[in-house]
Amino acid sequence: MITANLISKKRDGEPLNRDELNTFFNGYLTGDVTDAQMSAMLMAIYFNGMNEAETFTMVEVMLDSGSRMDFSDSEQYVADKHSTGGVGDKVSIILAPVLAAVGIKIPMIAGRGLGYTGGTIDKLESIPGFNTSPNLEQFKKWVNQSGYAIIAQSKNICTADKKIYSLRSKTGTIPSTPLICSSIMSKKIAEGISGLVLDIKVGNGTFMKTKENGQNLGDWLKKIGSAFNIKTDVVYSNMNQPLGRYAGLSCEIQESIDCLKGKGPSDLIKITLELGSHLLIQSKLAKDKKTAYKILEEIIDNGKALKTFISSVEIQGGILNNFELNNKPKFEKIINIDREGVIANMDTESIGWSLVQLGCVAQKKGEKLDFTAGIEFYKKTGENVNKNDPIFRVFGARKKQVEYAGEILKSAVKVRNEYQHIPLIL
């Protein structure tokens, strides 16, 4: 098959069959298909989409390009959670040890920052010594020891996706439903899980700006989950403002620890409990949402979740001693509001790009991140402010970047006389 002909076919809106998709995407792995040709194909898919057969084949292509985990011998329910990404979203870091402490096994393959959204792996690597790249045998051992482990995508799992994922970020093809679906679901299926809960973020701080778009994605993800025998639940949540009171790298780890101590902000705790309740019901550890919430709250209150987190961090080589002190930033800037009223809107995407400027999300391969950098949100939507009230604290190791990020943030909040409430769970 001629590579250019396959690109032209997809460009013209024609579907590609199984052999054509296999040939093209496996050709990218062998070097027969260039970055330029793959970029053209990704753009053709972005504009023309894929039908059900093509999408399912894409998932299989990703799966077959690497190894799969096997937890079929586990007596515990094996499950995972995935979020489509947002600003300040550290739920995976909190939820995984909570679920493990309850008795659900969580083998989580997480991502790095993409675009302006922070990555779970980047945040975890702010913990000195934390190993996110073990071999698969070691990964399974950690999961069996701690009840969960979180690692970066291995070169041995969904190899095609790992290579394409990087190119999507550079070519503006991230918000493509078939590409998102095949990327998410191939990695989750490869984990060897039986259950999955998906947190689809909707709003100005994520790729899915409207609930309609989010529901379309959710329907596709559920359809793929069903086809591959994975129980799949979907939760739609509000990303019209950052989640929690901090966004960045080490500061999000510290806020996660606060949540595991039962001292976290209410929005972060609520979405954690909501997502966790679905997996408890799937696993039959709870009969309904009310019971599930109670179980999860108790596992946090009695300290078992925090103990599980600390144990898992140690097993993965991480050192938490003096963590907050060692990540103290050199510079900070307070941003004040210029009028009184109520915070009616936050431009969450702009906040995300300010985090990029601070060095919290890499924009090119090998770029060094600033683990000390981040933003503290003194006020959020629906809260009253007076003129000159502090609203953001920006911090990091690089003075110039802190100043520049602060300038971006000055226009990231709209203050009005009234506020229209949007619920966290949509």
Q: Determine which helix (DSSP H) or strand (DSSP E) holds 251, and give its type and residue range.
A: helix 250-260
126 is catalytic: no
CATH number at residue 386: 3.90.1170.30
Q: Which of 157, 166, 78, 125 is nearest to 369 (CA)?
A: 125
Q: How many domains are there within the chain?
A: 3
Same domain, 155 and 280: yes
pLDDT band at 156 (very low <50, low <70, confident <90, very high): confident
Looking at the fold, whether 304 and 333 belong to one and the same domain comes out as no
Annotated catalytic, 82? yes
Q: Among 397, 393, 388, 415, which Cα is nearest to 406's? A: 393
Asked about 233 being catalytic, the answer comes back as: no
Mean pLDDT of 20-25: 94
Q: Are residues 166 and 249 in the same domain?
A: yes
Determine which one of 65, 146, 154, 183 is catalytic. Answer: 183
Among candidate residues 122, 161, 258, 347, the one labeled active-site is: 161
Query: Are residues 123 and 42 part of one domain?
Result: no
131 and 206 housed in the same domain: yes
Same domain (yes/no): 108, 150 = yes
DSSP secondary structure code for residue 368 in this structure: P
CA torsion, points 310, 316, 317, 323, in degrees to nearest 10?
-40
- Average of per-residue pLDDT values in the chain: 95
User: pLDDT band for position 120 (50/70/90)?
Assistant: very high
The pLDDT of residue 165: 80
Q: What is the CA radius of gyration of the chain?
A: 21
Residue type, position 115, single letter: G
Pairing of strands 246-248, 341-346: unpaired
Residue-wise pLDDT for 180-195, tens only, equals: 999 999 999 999 999 9
92 is annotated as an active-site residue: no
**Are 173 and 268 part of one and the same domain?**
yes
Domain endpoint, select from 315, 348, 369: 315
Give 46-54's long-range contacts (Cβ < 8 A, gap of 24+).
Answer: 46/172, 46/173, 46/175, 46/176, 46/179, 48/10, 48/11, 48/13, 49/176, 49/177, 49/178, 50/15, 50/178, 51/15, 52/223, 53/15, 53/18, 54/15, 54/16, 54/21, 54/178
- With a cut of 90, say whether residue 274 has pLDDT above it: yes
State the pLDDT at residue 167.
Answer: 87
Q: What is the CATH number of the domain that holds 40?
A: 1.20.970.10
The two beta strands, 79-83 and 195-202, are parallel
Does 365 have pLDDT greater than 80? Answer: no
User: Of 135, 173, 214, 227, which Cα lies nearest the Cα of 48?
Assistant: 173
Tell me the per-residue pLDDT of 369-426, one tens digit each, with 9 for 90 and over.
Answer: 999 999 999 999 999 999 999 999 999 999 999 999 999 999 999 999 988 898 999 9
Instruction: Assess if residue 74 is contained within a domain.
Output: no
Same domain, 301 and 399: no
Overall average pLDDT of the 259-272 stretch: 97
Q: Does 161 fall in a domain?
A: yes
The pLDDT assigned to 175 comes to 80
Answer yes or no: is pLDDT of 11 > 90.
yes
User: E strands within 277-425?
Assistant: 331-336, 341-346, 374-377, 384-385, 390-396, 413-416
pLDDT bucket at 259, cuts 50 / 70 / 90: very high
- 112 and 19 share one domain: no
Using pLDDT thresholds of 50, 70 and 90, give the confidence band for residue 24: very high
pLDDT for 31 beyond 80: yes
Query: Percent of the chain at pLDDT above 90?
Result: 88
Q: Which residues pair with 150 in a beta bridge?
A: 108
308 and 335 share one domain: no
What single-letter DSSP state applies at residue 417? S
Within 8 A by CB and 6+ apart from 224, the residues are 55, 56, 59, 181, 185, 232
Where is 324: in which H helix or E strand?
A: helix 323-326
What CA–CA distance (Å, rounded) separates 94 from 269? 9
Kindly tell me if the per-residue pLDDT of 1 is higher than 80.
no
Residue 170 has a pLDDT of 80
Flag whether pLDDT at 277 surpasses 90. yes
Q: Is the pLDDT of residue 107 over 80?
A: yes
Asked whether residue 71 is assigned to any structural domain, the reply reads no
CA 383 to chain centre: 27
Q: Given a cut of 90, is residue 83 above it in pLDDT? A: yes
Contacts for 364 with CB less than 8 Å, ≥ 6 apart: none
Q: Which residue has the higher pLDDT, 11 or 207?
A: 11
Give the pLDDT score at 114. Answer: 77
In a domain, 45, yes or no: yes
Q: Which of 10, 82, 188, 231 is catalytic?
A: 82
**Does 421 map to a domain?**
no
pLDDT band at 210 (very low <50, low <70, confident <90, very high): very high
Do 306 and 327 sit in the same domain of this protein?
A: no
Distance CA 240, CA 327 (A): 28
Asked if residue 63 belongs to a domain, the reply is no
Q: Which tens digit of pLDDT belongs to each residue from 296-349?
A: 999 999 999 999 999 999 999 999 999 999 999 999 999 999 999 999 999 999
Instruction: Quote the pLDDT of residue 145.
Output: 96
Active site residue 421: no
What is the domain extent for residue 342? 323-416
Cα 174-162-353 angle, rounded to 5 deg: 40
Runs of H (alpha helix) within 65-115: 91-102
Model confidence at 168, pLDDT cuts 50, 70, 90, reads confident
pLDDT at position 162, please? 82
Q: Mark whether 91 and 8 lie in a shared domain.
A: no
Q: What is the pLDDT of residues 193-207, one digit of tens each?
A: 999 999 999 999 998
User: What local confidence, expressed as pLDDT, does residue 155 receive?
Assistant: 82
Say which of 168, 201, 222, 379 is annotated catalytic.
168
The catalytic position among 81, 105, 187, 222 is 187
Dihedral in degrees, nearest 10, Cα atoms 377, 318, 97, 73: 150
205 contacts 89 by C-beta, under 8 angstroms: no
